[in-house]
Amino acid sequence: MKTGVYFCNCGSNIAEKVDPERLREALERSGAEMAWFRTHPFLCSEEGKQFLEQELREEMPDRVVLAACSPREHEGTFRRVLAEAGMNPYLMQMVNLREQIAWVTADPEQAVAKAAAAVNGALRRVALHEPLEKSELEAAPEVLVVGAGPAGLKAALTLADAGRRVTLVEKSPVIGGLPVRYEELFPNLECGPCLLEPVMGELLHGDKAELVEILTLSEVSEVAGSFGNFLVKIRRRPRYVDPVQCIGCGECAAACPATLPNPYNGGMDERNAIDFAFTGGLPSVPYLDPSACTRFTAGSDCEACRAACPMGPELVVFEEQEEIVERRVGAVVLATGATLYDCSGFPNLGYGSCPDVKDALEFERLIASTGPTGGEVLTSAGKAPASVAIVHCVGSLDDAHRPYCSGICCSYAFKFNKILQERLPEAKIHHLYRQLVAPGKEEFRLQNSAREYAGAQFHRYDRLAELEVVVDGGQKLRLAGGELVDAELVVLCPALVPNPDAEKLAALLDLPLDGFGFFEELNGRIDATRSKLRGVYLAGTCQGPTDIRGAATQGAGACGALLSELVEGRTIELDPCIASVDAERCAGCRVCARVCPFRAIGFDAEQGTSEVNPVLCRGCGTCVAACPMKAIRGNHFTDAMIEAELEGVLA
């Protein structure tokens, strides 16, 4: 084997401390197996790279050792030079003379000795290097987006704008997520539906609409494969209405004799068995709830909706069945959103038992013109409340519940203040809070407006247990100090928690959740739109509490990461420096799968052996060290290579 050693002087950076001539002598004295030892003043310069390329072409070494700077700086550079010279780029090993020897060693003699040991290790290691090739994988450019709230909508639209085919799966009958149910949004009291409607309109009817398939009443039921090639099964529940021909006139709903509490208005009013989710919900097609329609509940032969449909009775399809839709996609964007922490866990606050204690979502519907009261703020008795208590931090900043601050509740609580101020100018408003937090460059206005409002009083509490809703001749709230204040209506602002669907999806995708049930991001600061599973991206509140802007921005941001990794017409390049299982030696104990941080190790049940998915493996080598049978090999970092280097530096 012919190994050439190239020493880079790095100007005087290395050569001043590590004399190349003395290093060469030391290596020769120790019998190091090198075919030649040559120096260059600046190997990474254009001239230096040309020199090296020429050398490699002419001398045709089997292996190369570059005694230069940190591989973190120039390993890529020199690998490219090797490739240019027609050599396999992995047949090279760098020795970090500059950062880890020349710059940190006072005594030149010791520096030379340390350098000789390091080069010796590299020589022994590189002799065992193998030519490795990057492999390539065909990838589907299509994308699945799960959840049609602000984050999912923005993601779907961004992808469609880039020419990608998107399947947008939404479990409810309408798209838009939670904010389409709010009439006014913080910080500027913009109209929620008006803000989202252009995005939804674009997806439903715009130039790129044909690229986006929207599946409502649908949930992901199965996922197989990995980045580039996911095979997804989607369970689609029947709407019982033909969405293509329906014109959204609502005649069917008007004719329907059956009713049920409307879940979109927090059960505060009723809807018909066939009806819209709420006025203005998109797509503007009613859906039939079989839990209330007498044809399904009592086997009746009612056809009132069919008879009422001006487009023809065939538009209502009672026979429609659940179906499984299969799609092949290269990547998945999760935007399953969040919900409110369940307030019924605080019996002292009366949620669920007192009709005039509402959570923030219910209150949003109470102030919406499309809501149960047409936007009039009324108590359950149909009276305008003379006093309203808004309780912040319900279940937040509380180790027994959710220790984090959701960051949006104070802002919408101040919005409620503003709306109450206008609609009920006589009403007294009490804010109960543990901490007031309204981050952002615009949010302070609503906060200031609430703080300056003469009708509002602020009371700090330490523990939620100090507060109590008392119903005794008019609803009251006991404050932390024991004082009772009138609170004919109580609005609770609970912590934002992940949608329960996240858990199901996490199990389907084998994706980790954090301690609170949000999807765990690849890195919480620098890579929050990528999950820990390659090809699965995160957007919006399924990753952590955020506001509409945060969700939409993350939706677009996730697409940036996705589009740069899953490039249409380009294969996915797979790093060869990963693990591989020798099936002959594998005993099938699956220790490797348990220690793998990336769920990259599967199991071949037929063979009874583990196998590494090269798309998911990132080459950390944890499984290699864990395998009791030594059946896993870490390419480019094999046991033999590491041990050879170890023995070389100690020789």
Partner 1 sequence: MKNVEVAIEQGGAAAAETFQPRIVGFLCTWCSYAGADQAGSCQLEYPANVSIVRVMCTGRIDPEFVLKAFRAGADGVLVLACHPGDCHYKEGNLRAAQRHAVLVRLLEQMGIERERCRFDYVSAGEGEKYAQVISEVVSSVAALGPLSINS
Cα separation, 243 vs 22, whole angstroms: 82
* 267 contacts 362 by C-beta, under 8 angstroms: no
- Is 642 among the residues that bind partner 1 (CB under 8 A)? yes
- Is 643 among the residues that bind partner 1 (CB under 8 A)? yes
Stretches 106-114, 285-293, 421-429, 465-473: which one binds partner 1 (CB under 8 A)?
106-114
- Pick between residue 162 and residue 577 the one whose CB is nearest to partner 1: 577
Cα separation, 637 vs 639, whole angstroms: 7
- Is 567 among the residues that bind partner 1 (CB under 8 A)? no
- Pick between residue 44 and residue 160 the one whose CB is nearest to partner 1: 44
Minimal distance in Å, beta carbon 625 to partner 1? 4
- Pick between residue 121 and residue 193 the one whose CB is nearest to partner 1: 121
Tell me the CA distances in angstroms from 418 to 367, 376, 425, 430, 495, one per residue in order. Answer: 12, 14, 10, 13, 21
- Is 208 among the residues that bind partner 1 (CB under 8 A)? no
* 256 contacts 286 by C-beta, under 8 angstroms: no
Minimal distance in Å, beta carbon 44 to partner 1? 15
Minimal distance in Å, beta carbon 572 to partner 1? 20
Q: Identify the H or E element spanning 507.
A: helix 501-509
- Pick between residue 556 and residue 642 the one whose CB is nearest to partner 1: 642
Minimal distance in Å, beta carbon 19 to partner 1? 15
- Is 535 among the residues that bind partner 1 (CB under 8 A)? no
Residue bearing tokens 């190997």: 43
Q: What is the DSSP annotation of 95-164?
A: EEHIIIIITT-S-HHHHHHHHHHHHHHHHHHHHT------EEE-----EEEE--SHHHHHHHHHHHHTT-
Name which position in 24, 63, 79, 114 contacts partner 1 (CB under 8 A).
114
Name which position in 12, 54, 110, 369 contacts partner 1 (CB under 8 A).
110
Name which position in 25, 62, 84, 99 contacts partner 1 (CB under 8 A).
99
Name which position in 32, 68, 118, 309 contacts partner 1 (CB under 8 A).
118
- Longest CA–CA span in the chain (Å) reads 100
- Is 98 among the residues that bind partner 1 (CB under 8 A)? yes
| DSSP 8-state assignment for residue 495 | P
- Is 90 among the residues that bind partner 1 (CB under 8 A)? no
Stretches 64-72, 78-86, 160-168, 503-511: which one binds partner 1 (CB under 8 A)?
64-72
Residue bearing tokens 């009806």: 275
Minimal distance in Å, beta carbon 52 to partner 1? 22
Minimal distance in Å, beta carbon 129 to partner 1? 14
Stretches 19-27, 69-77, 418-426, 464-472: which one binds partner 1 (CB under 8 A)?
69-77
- Is 650 among the residues that bind partner 1 (CB under 8 A)? yes
Name which position in 15, 56, 117, 304 contacts partner 1 (CB under 8 A).
117
Name which position in 9, 96, 411, 475 contacts partner 1 (CB under 8 A).
96
Tell me the CA distances in angstroms from 234 to 149, 170, 384, 542, 548, one per residue in order. Answer: 18, 10, 46, 19, 27
- Is 172 among the residues that bind partner 1 (CB under 8 A)? no
Name which position in 224, 231, 625, 640 contacts partner 1 (CB under 8 A).
625
Stretches 438-446, 471-479, 483-491, 593-601: which one binds partner 1 (CB under 8 A)?
593-601
- Is 640 among the residues that bind partner 1 (CB under 8 A)? no
- Pick between residue 17 and residue 154 the one whose CB is nearest to partner 1: 17
- Is 404 among the residues that bind partner 1 (CB under 8 A)? no
For residues 287-318, b (16+ Cβ closer than 10 Å) or e, as one string?
A: bbbeebbebbeeeeebebbbebbeeeeebbee
Name which position in 39, 88, 100, 457 contacts partner 1 (CB under 8 A).
100
Name which position in 121, 173, 281, 550 contacts partner 1 (CB under 8 A).
121
Stretches 51-59, 117-125, 387-395, 461-469: which one binds partner 1 (CB under 8 A)?
117-125
Count of other CB atoms within 10 angstroms of residue 465 = 14
Stretches 71-79, 157-165, 369-377, 554-562: which one binds partner 1 (CB under 8 A)?
71-79
Return the structure tokens found at 284. 């503007």
Three-state secondary-structure class, residue 175: strand
- Is 645 among the residues that bind partner 1 (CB under 8 A)? yes
Name which position in 10, 64, 101, 493 contacts partner 1 (CB under 8 A).
101
Count of other CB atoms within 10 angstroms of residue 566 = 23
Name which position in 20, 61, 71, 193 contacts partner 1 (CB under 8 A).
71
* 182 contacts 368 by C-beta, under 8 angstroms: yes
Cα atoms in the 13 Å half-sphere on the side-chain side of 147:
32
- Is 222 among the residues that bind partner 1 (CB under 8 A)? no
Residue bearing tokens 């085919």: 165
Name which position in 349, 413, 581, 624 contacts partner 1 (CB under 8 A).
624
Q: What is the DSSP annotation of 414-443?
A: HHHHHHHHHH-TT-EEEEEES-----SSST
How are beta strands 387-394 and 489-494 bridged, if at all? parallel
Name which position in 532, 546, 586, 601 contacts partner 1 (CB under 8 A).
532
* 426 contacts 453 by C-beta, under 8 angstroms: no
Q: What is the DSSP annotation of 179-238?
A: GGG-SEETTTTEEHHHHHHHHHHHHHHSTTGGGEEEE-SEEEEEEEEETTEEEEEEEE--
- Pick between residue 121 and residue 371 the one whose CB is nearest to partner 1: 121
- Is 284 among the residues that bind partner 1 (CB under 8 A)? no
Stretches 37-45, 67-75, 283-291, 551-559: which one binds partner 1 (CB under 8 A)?
67-75
In sequence order, what are the residues at sequence separation of 6 or more whose Cβ sits closer than 8 angstroms to the Cβ of residue 385? 356, 377, 378, 379, 424, 427, 488, 489
For residues 78-108, b (16+ Cβ closer than 10 Å) or e, as one string?
A: bbebbeebebebbbbbbbbbbeebbeebeee
- Pick between residue 480 and residue 591 the one whose CB is nearest to partner 1: 591
- Pick between residue 70 and residue 613 the one whose CB is nearest to partner 1: 70
Nearest one of 45, 124, 50, 132 to 88, comparing CA atoms: 132
Identify each DSSP E strand in 395-544 by its residue range: 428-433, 456-460, 468-471, 475-478, 484-486, 489-494, 496-498, 521-523, 527-531, 536-538
- What is the contact surface with partner 1 in residues (CB under 8 A)? 70-73, 96, 98-107, 110-111, 113-114, 117-118, 121, 532, 577, 595, 597-598, 618-622, 624-626, 634, 637, 639, 642-643, 645-647, 649-651
